[in-house]
Amino acid sequence: MYTVVTPEMYGKFKPELKQMFQLRHRVFRERLGWDVHSVNGEERDQFDSLNPVYILASDEQQDIVGCWRLLPTTGPNMLADVFPSLMDGRAAINSPTIWECSRFAVDCSGHRENNLAAVASITYELFMGLASFCVPRDISGVVTVYDVRIGRLMNRVGIKPDWKTSTRRIDDTLALAGYFSINETNIARASSGAIDGSVLWRTDLTENSTHV
């Protein structure tokens, strides 16, 4: 199940957002050892102060198990301001119809058994949440920085970039940037690529967290 949290909804979803920041701390700081800013077990950066939209995925117990952050490319964003070198010399994207996705994280570690199928299912669910936000607002696509493992997961559920950059090493991660159209064709392709054709909670994972 996914939830789209826009800035005016922050107060209503305060507990869920707290879980999201805790999830990011577990994934980015504790598991990956990234030099990110965490306070009291919650990870935030400067882009969280810009009133982003958050896509949250929850499990059957209503625990937050996945998240994605959305910001317009017409303002500050990670690709333009932190990772411009990934663009292979292209100009920074600045368009009201293209937004940036960042801080993608999935964490299934609170469950007894985990496998790649559950991570793929949550990835698909987050994409559906992304589409539900973008389509009625005439947002035609998103650009994002992601690593090669996330690329394999997105491909597994039929989410494929229109274009992608070359791969570069950022710290211990092989990362690239890509553009993903949000349209009926890609939504249908993602739907048909979902495991068993539906979003199901799976508990046979070999990896219990992933990130961007």
The whole-model pTM stands at: 0.85
Short-list 112, 28, 115, 111, CA closest to 67? 28
pLDDT digits (tens, 9 = 90+) for 81-137: 999 999 988 888 999 999 999 999 988 765 544 566 778 788 888 999 999 999 999
Amino acid at 39: V
* CATH among 3.40.630.30, 3.40.190.10, 1.10.8.590, 2.170.130.10 for 2-211: 3.40.630.30
Higher pLDDT, 69 or 124: 69
Domain residue limits, the chain: 2-211
Angle at 138 between CA 134 and CA 143, to 5 degrees: 55
> Looking at residue 22, what is its pLDDT?
96
pLDDT digits (tens, 9 = 90+) for 144-185: 998 888 888 788 778 889 999 999 988 778 899 999 999 887
Short-list 205, 179, 42, CA closest to 108? 205
